[in-house]
Amino acid sequence: MGTFTIRWLFAFLLLAATYNPTQVNFLRWLTADNGPSTSVLVLTGLVLLVGYIIYLRATLRSIGPFGMVLVLALVGALLWVAYDLGWLDFRNPTWNTWIGLVALSLVLGIGLSWSHVRRRLSGQSDMDDVDE
């Protein structure tokens, strides 16, 4: 499996662990009366928060807000084409949620991978500004 696929898969798992149409997700556990204990909820919430910070920070640094919107627009256009060709039907809200999770995870996966793609294409590395 390629590095982009692994990064995208972890982004998808992060988003799906937070919310998905099944009963197994953090937000349902958080609102359930008989969900996991408070300590498990806090630990899970912190792990998810760390994952979001890593992905969002890397994505904002590599492609920025405009790049995020552009990737989401490309995914949206791809979905539009798939709908026009009859490959997708948006009448099922459960499928719409999964499609949304895939679309958002693609944005995060591309954002986390973009610096590596740019380095391979241009031969130049990205680095943070460091004050010395």
Domain that holds residue 83: 3-122
Tens digits of residue pLDDT in 10-55: 999 999 999 999 999 999 998 887 767 888 999 999 999 999 999 9
**3 contacts: CB under 8 Å, gap ≥ 6:** 113, 116
**Confidence (pLDDT) at 119:** 67
**Is 26 part of any domain?**
yes
**Is 93 part of any domain?**
yes
Tens digits of residue pLDDT in 65-103: 999 999 999 999 999 999 999 999 999 999 999 999 999
**Is 16 part of any domain?**
yes
**Confidence (pLDDT) at 100:** 94
**Is 47 part of any domain?**
yes
Give dist(CA 79, CA 16) in Å, integer: 20
Is residue 119 left, alpha or beta, with left meaning phi > 0 and alpha meaning psi from -120 to 50? alpha
**Is 101 part of any domain?**
yes
Total structural domains within the chain? 1
**Is 129 part of any domain?**
no
**90 contacts: CB under 8 Å, gap ≥ 6:** 83, 96, 99
Residue 93, classified by CB atoms within 10 Å of its CB into exposed (0-12), middle (13-18) or buried (19+), is exposed
pLDDT band at 128 (very low <50, low <70, confident <90, very high): low
**Is 132 part of any domain?**
no
